[in-house]
């Protein structure tokens, strides 16, 4: 970047991917905390030589480009530190650290990429549980013990679901679930040598039961228990995991959902049961054009397959060992939403490109693929993208919330031109939304709602969930923030209680 491009980045204000440091004479200690935070989150830029005056609101007054006196020395000091024992790993290339100069003013720019999953956590010092940082809209923060453990687990190239759940045996398998799975397996794999095996041997072949040759410990694996276990056994050890399906296609102020599947004591809440109970409900309303293959009617379309792929992705990429997590599937009139615990192992751009899948649960992936659910590694998400593009619908949106440690995929069955109406709103007004609201709200309130304003400026619309993610606050707190915005009359709430969105009025 040149100085002009850098100023544009700075004057957008410190965000989740930009951190400014004063750094008059030395690289501050906090720069290495930001290095850790960016590497463990989504990457970003550290800019040395910019002073922040937090009493000012206008970005050009708030961020003062004062420069540094000794850029080459600070750059050398930074490299010496990053290659030394201060941090556990250097993920930077030479071109990631450079000096930008203009009219005698020098700044140092440090571009920190997102670290590969097999290199996280990136931490300061010798103890990852004390020196690992992550990033949110409020700056850098110490990662929790559960977050650090999750990063360490993700380093395993074989995934998470092969671990033996000690003391859990075949007695903890729900026989009816396994019988149902084996029946489908036999139909799809007629004559397969595994069909004659007993249940334990069959599970061993699938990776659902394992014996550690080194220690002699044996038992169900995470994959075996979560896919086929009894509900009671799963809840004993995975009480943090909650499975929830809701049909919200016809919600009203008095009706929160039209249909729901969650644990209610009427079914064994393992993953295979959840998948087979919910999938037909997801696809039952999708159009089935009359099509024959020979004399057999084909009742399935690429859209049916894509929706199932999204559900499979939810299961195989979830981190079931997080301290809390919900496998949530929501069906609405024009969209599907899939949420699973655990952050992305790969950068978003790699996932959209496809062909390099890094499943957390490869044995679960195999179990589903062997009975006809899920494509080969790396092709599932591109299949979804291709289907949605051919239908002319808006691009599927994969969102990573590194604060809540969850990933959400939204599939909207909405034509592209309808979406364009929402994104063009900013062109209708001469003054930016933040300019107007900074004059209407007191500074204290304006600073609180600024992350929400930024979303509204970009999209013209925001959901409570998006606001919570941007602010990193509880739902109750964010409701108060949204109340501050609607009180101005510039932002209005629309929709039912459980499907409310907040929109900027035209010509504000």
Asked if the model's pLDDT at residue 39 lies above 90, the reply is: yes
Q: Are residues 335 and 455 in the same domain?
A: no
121 within 8 A of 40, measured Cβ to Cβ: yes
Is residue 175 domain-resident? Answer: no
The DSSP output letter for 202 is H
Q: Which residues contact 303 (CB under 8 A, 6 or more apart)?
A: 286, 287, 387, 391
Q: Is 52:62 a contact under the CB 8 Å cutoff? A: yes
CATH classification of the domain holding 62? 3.30.950.30
Q: What percent of the chain lies above the pLDDT cut of 90?
A: 61
Determine the average pLDDT of the residues in 76-98: 95
For residue 379, report the phi and psi dihedrals to the nearest 5 degrees: -100, -10
| Domain end position, chosen among 416, 444, 462 | 416
What CATH number should be reported for the domain holding residue 444? 1.10.10.10
Alpha-carbon torsion angle 118, 121, 123, 129, nearest 10: -140
In a domain, 187, yes or no: no
Tokens of 264: 């209610």
Q: Which of 154, 182, 212 is the last residue of a domain?
A: 154
Task: Record the tokens describing residue 49, joined without a space.
Answer: 């030589």
Are 314 and 434 in a shared domain?
A: no
Q: How far apart are CA 237 and CA 271, in angstroms?
A: 15
Residues 92 and 141 in one domain: yes
Which of helix, strand or coil describes residue 365? helix
Are residues 252 and 393 both part of a single domain?
yes
pLDDT range class, residue 427, cuts 50, 70, 90: low
Task: Round to whole Å and give the CA distance between 471 and 479.
Answer: 11
Q: Residues 21, 121: one domain? A: yes
Indicate if 344 and 408 belong to the same structural domain.
yes
- pLDDT, position 287: 82
Pair (381, 476) in one structural domain = no
Q: What is the rounded distance in angstroms from the CA atom of residue 6 to the CA atom of residue 19?
A: 12
Q: Supply the pLDDT for residue 476.
A: 86
Residue 382 lies in a domain: yes
Per-residue pLDDT at 246 exceeds 90 = yes
| In contact, 333 and 308? CB cutoff 8 Å | no
User: The CATH number of the domain where 378 resides is what?
Assistant: 3.30.565.60
**In contact, 206 and 366? CB cutoff 8 Å:** yes
Could you tell me if 365 and 474 lie in one domain? no
**Residue at 89 is within a domain:** yes
Query: Phi then psi for 485, rounded to 5 degrees?
Result: -70, -45
Whether residue 220 is contained in a domain is answered as no
H-only helix segments in 238-373: 271-283, 302-317, 348-353, 362-369
Q: Is this model's pTM higher than 0.85 or not?
A: no
Please tell me whether residues 451 and 389 are part of one structural domain. no
Count: domains in the chain: 3
**Final residue of a domain: which of 101, 131, 154?**
154
pLDDT band at 411 (very low <50, low <70, confident <90, very high): very high
pLDDT given for residue 258 in this prediction: 86
Structural domain contains residue 211: no
Of 243, 294, 290, 283, the residue nearest 264 (C-alpha): 243
pLDDT digits (tens, 9 = 90+) for 375-405: 765 567 888 999 999 999 999 999 999 888 9
Q: Express each pLDDT in 113-137 by its tens digit.
A: 999 999 999 999 999 999 999 998 8
Residue 483 lies in a domain: yes
Is there a single domain that holds both residue 78 and residue 148? yes
Same domain for 480 and 389: no
Owning domain of residue 282 = 242-416
What are the DSSP calls for 483-507, one per residue?
A: HHHHHTTSEEEES-GGG-EEEEPTT
440 shares a domain with 320: no
* Residue at 393 is within a domain: yes
């Amino acid at each position: 970047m040149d100085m002009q491009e850098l100023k544009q980045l700075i004057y957008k204000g410190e965000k989740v991917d930009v951190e400014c440091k004063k750094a008059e004479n030395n690289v501050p200690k906090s720069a290495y905390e930001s290095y850790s935070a960016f590497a463990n989150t989504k990457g970003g830029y550290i800019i040395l030589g910019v002073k922040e005056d937090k009493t000012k609101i206008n970005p050009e007054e708030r961020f003062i480009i004062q420069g540094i006196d000794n850029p080459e020395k600070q750059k050398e000091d930074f490299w010496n530190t990053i290659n030394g024992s201060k941090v556990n790993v250097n993920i930077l290339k030479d071109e990631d650290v450079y000096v930008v100069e203009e009219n005698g003013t020098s700044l140092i720019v440090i571009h920190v990429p997102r670290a590969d999953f097999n290199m996280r956590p990136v931490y300061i010092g010798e103890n990852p549980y004390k020196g690992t940082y992550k990033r949110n809209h409020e700056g850098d923060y110490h990662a929790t013990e559960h977050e650090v453990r999750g990063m360490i687990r993700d380093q395993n190239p074989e995934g998470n679901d092969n671990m033996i759940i000690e003391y859990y045996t075949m007695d903890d398998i729900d026989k009816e679930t396994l019988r149902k799975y084996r029946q489908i397996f036999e139909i799809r794999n007629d004559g397969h040598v595994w069909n004659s095996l007993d249940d334990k041997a069959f599970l061993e072949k699938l990776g659902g039961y394992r014996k550690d040759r080194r220690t002699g410990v044996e038992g169900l694996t995470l994959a075996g228990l979560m896919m086929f276990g009894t509900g009671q056994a799963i809840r004993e050890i995975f009480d943090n995991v909650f499975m929830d399906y809701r049909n919200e296609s016809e919600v009203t102020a008095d009706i929160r959902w039209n249909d729901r599947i969650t644990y209610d004591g009427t079914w064994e809440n393992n993953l295979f049961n959840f998948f087979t109970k919910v999938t037909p409900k997801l696809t039952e309303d999708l159009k089935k054009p009359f099509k024959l293959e020979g004399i057999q009617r084909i009742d399935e379309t690429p859209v049916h397959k894509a929706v199932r792929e999204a559900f499979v992705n939810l299961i195989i990429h979830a981190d079931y060992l997080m301290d809390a997590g919900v496998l949530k599937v929501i069906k609405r009139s024009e969209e599907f939403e899939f949420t699973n615990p655990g952050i992305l192992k790969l950068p978003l751009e790699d996932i959209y490109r496809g062909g390099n899948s890094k499943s957390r649960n490869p044995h679960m992936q195999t179990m589903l693929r062997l009975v006809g659910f899920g494509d080969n590694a790396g092709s599932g998400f591109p299949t979804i993208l291709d289907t949605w593009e051919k239908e002319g619908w808006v691009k599927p949106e994969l969102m990573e919330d590194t604060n809540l440690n969850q990933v959400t995929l939204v599939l909207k069955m909405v034509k592209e031109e309808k979406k364009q109406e929402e994104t063009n709103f900013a062109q209708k007004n001469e003054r930016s939304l933040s300019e107007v609201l900074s004059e209407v709200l007191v500074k204290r309130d304006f600073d609180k709602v600024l992350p929400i304003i930024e979303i509204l400026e970009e999209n013209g619309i925001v959901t409570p969930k998006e606001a919570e993610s941007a602010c990193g606050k509880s739902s109750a707190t964010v409701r108060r923030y949204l109340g501050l915005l609607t009180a101005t009359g510039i932002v209005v709430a629309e929709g039912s209680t459980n499907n409310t969105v907040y929109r900027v009025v035209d010509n504000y």
